[in-house]
Amino acid sequence: MQIIKSIQSRIYSIRGERVMLDFDLALLYEVETKVLNQAVKRNIERFPDDFMFKLTNEEFENLRFQIENNQNMSSQIVATYTPNLKSQIVTSSWGGTRKLPYAFTEQGVAMLSGVLRSERAINMNIAIMRAFVDVRKILLKQSNINEQLLEIKERLGEHDVQLNELYDAMDNMLDEKIAQLKWKDRERIGFKIKE
């Protein structure tokens, strides 16, 4: 269960997709990022754009910012993640520019099982698929809770309208009573008849 939670902390939402990054996958599979990416490039026909894509500079910077500033992550995860971001980025030999990481969707991670065939990779792939399923379940529950909250909010709005109508009716009744009392207690003018 601990490994599932560890994997879940490495699933990010980028471009509306839940993805894992190449350096995280390499860490989980216990291979170098370079080795993982080489295996993918040798089998690139298995990884269409909806299975794998390269992050843009802006996406990568936003992701680094999220990881470093995410209050929900434990400080241990942040401490171990921040150095990994810097150390796992491969630098090219022709000028030292950073290569941006690849993001693998759930289908891309599943496809990795056909590319990386070690026992560790197979077991880790099973754990990763379970983590994706758990994340999906959590998101569905959250969506259901959001729907329930919207329904409650709408009901409260309706109740507010009804209560305001009641208050207005009560105010009108009180105004009529006050008007009747004033009419009865007014000083009469004109002829007074003695009885």
DSSP 12: E
- pLDDT exceeds 50 at position 75: no
| pLDDT score at 1 | 60
Instruction: Name the token pair of 91.
Output: 């630098």
d(CA 121, CA 83): 24
pLDDT of 195 above 80: no
- Quick one: pLDDT at residue 69? 58
pLDDT reading at 80 higher than 60: no
Closest CA to 132 of 46, 22, 20, 14: 20
Residue 95: predicted pLDDT: 36
- Residue 136: the pLDDT is 77
Give the pLDDT confidence of 82-100 residue by residue, as tens digits: 334 444 444 333 333 368 8
Does the pLDDT at position 114 exceed 80?
no
pLDDT for 53 equals 92
Could you tell me the end-to-end alpha-carbon distance of the chain, in angstroms, rounded to an integer? 97
CA distance 91 to 93: 7
Cβ of 43: how many Cβ atoms within 10 Å?
14
Over the chain, what is the mean pLDDT?
75
SS3 per residue for 113-139: HHHCCCHHHHHHHHHHHHHHHHHHHHH
Lowest-pLDDT range of 55-64, 73-82, 101-110, 125-134: 73-82
Are 100 and 33 spatial neighbours (Cβ–Cβ below 8 Å)?
no
CA–CA separation, 91 and 111 (whole Å): 26
Per residue in 129-154, pLDDT (tens digit) is 778 788 778 777 777 787 778 888 88
Tens digits of residue pLDDT in 17-70: 888 898 888 888 888 889 888 989 998 998 888 899 999 888 888 888 776 655
Q: 74 or 113, which is more confident? A: 113
Any idea which residue has 């992550």 for tokens? 73
**What is the predicted pLDDT for the residue at 68?**
67
Q: What is the pLDDT of residue 81?
A: 35
Q: Supply the pTM of this predicted model.
A: 0.53
Amino acid at 57: N
Alpha helices in 9-56 (DSSP H): 22-29, 33-42
CA dist 175 and 81 (Å) reads: 69
